[in-house]
């Protein structure tokens, strides 16, 4: 189903334009060579009003991603953050998903990207539970993918690059065609990396485990959020290299991401995880996450921007 109502506004290079006019030329460098960096995060409808969750962290990661690819955004971070707010205000949504993207535009084709301009855009739309209705409560069935995540010193895994998501698409399509909701990619050493678009956490004997940045993972903002929340709740958590078989013996597993939020995994390769449903620590972290977003907790980390 098309998730777009096509009636809103899109911010492009400093101007708000009608959704259907937010177009680029077919000869733009990004179409031919995947030269785009992007972000994804949410604005929530809360009892205290519309709130953007961790706007500054996402825009900082966008700028870091662009820096790795030698793409200088022609706006300051403060200007880009204001553009996000302006775009949300220009669209009549109670809550929305936010997608800033920076890309090499129309200039010249060839692997050398430097002759092309650095363009940017921000679009917003309504997007429900990323891994399906009821996923946050019931969990999802996943498989370990036959596709590995990128090796070190090939693509920068720390960059949220459109090109990296070609690998993610292979993982996702394989999972869907085999009857699963999502796939888990391993790194080149056969250790747990992440899902096609989510970081991953395992709970074993009351302790949380998650792969480190060196496992070819994206430095997820919700991953970082969960690490902070676990510390606040005195739940032990370690970042460590994890063998794939730990997925089969974990008491709980959950994905994190701005789209997926905190989604439990109920089975891996048709092996039931725990009781085959959302586990107690996952539920505690979900509750704390949404309580923070809804303003029921002190915003001691300055994660909330109210519109």
Active site residues: 160
CB atoms within 10 A of CB 127: 16
- Per-residue H/E/C for 129-185: CCCCCCHHHHCEEEEECCCCCCCCCCCCCCCCECCHHHHHHHHHHHHHHCCCCEEEE
Q: Left if phi > 0, otherwise alpha if psi is -120 to 50, otherwise beta: which for 197?
A: alpha
The DSSP annotation for 24-44 comes to --TT-HHHHH--EEE--EEEE
**What is the pairing mode between strands 237-239 and 207-210?**
parallel
CA 281 to chain centre: 21
Contact 62, 37 (CB under 8 A): yes
CB atoms within 10 A of CB 33: 17
Distance CA 16, CA 65 (A): 24
Distance CA 126, CA 93 (A): 7
- 225 DSSP 8-state letter: H
């Amino acid at each position: 189903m098309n998730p777009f109502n096509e009636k809103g506004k899109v911010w492009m290079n400093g101007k708000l334009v009608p959704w259907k006019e937010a177009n680029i030329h077919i000869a733009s460098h990004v179409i031919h060579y995947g030269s785009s960096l992007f972000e994804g995060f949410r604005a929530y409808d809360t009892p205290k009003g519309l709130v953007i969750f961790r706007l500054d962290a996402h825009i900082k990661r966008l700028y870091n991603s662009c820096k790795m690819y030698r793409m200088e955004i022609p706006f300051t971070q403060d200007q880009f953050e204001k553009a996000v707010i302006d775009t949300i205000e220009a669209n009549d949504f109670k809550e929305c998903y936010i997608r800033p993207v920076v890309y090499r535009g129309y200039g010249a084709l060839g692997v050398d990207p430097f002759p092309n301009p650095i363009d940017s855009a921000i679009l917003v739309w309504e997007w429900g539970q990323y891994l399906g209705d009821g996923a946050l409560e019931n969990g999802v069935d996943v498989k370990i993918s036959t596709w590995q995540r990128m090796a070190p010193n090939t693509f920068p895994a720390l960059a949220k690059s459109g090109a990296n998501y070609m690998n993610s698409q292979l993982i996702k399509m394989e999972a869907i065609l085999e009857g699963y909701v999502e796939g888990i990619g391993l790194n080149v050493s056969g250790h747990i990396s992440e899902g096609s678009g989510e970081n991953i956490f395992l709970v074993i004997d009351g302790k949380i485990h998650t792969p480190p940045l060196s496992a070819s993972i994206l430095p997820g903002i919700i991953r970082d959020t969960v690490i902070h929340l676990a510390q606040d709740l005195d739940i032990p958590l370690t970042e460590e290299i994890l063998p794939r078989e730990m997925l089969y013996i974990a008491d709980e597993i959950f994905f994190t991401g701005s789209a997926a939020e905190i989604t439990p995994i109920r089975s891996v390769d048709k092996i039931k995880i725990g009781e085959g449903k959302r586990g107690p620590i996952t539920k505690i972290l979900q509750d704390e996450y949404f309580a923070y977003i809804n303003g029921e907790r002190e915003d001691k980390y300055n994660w909330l921007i109210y519109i």
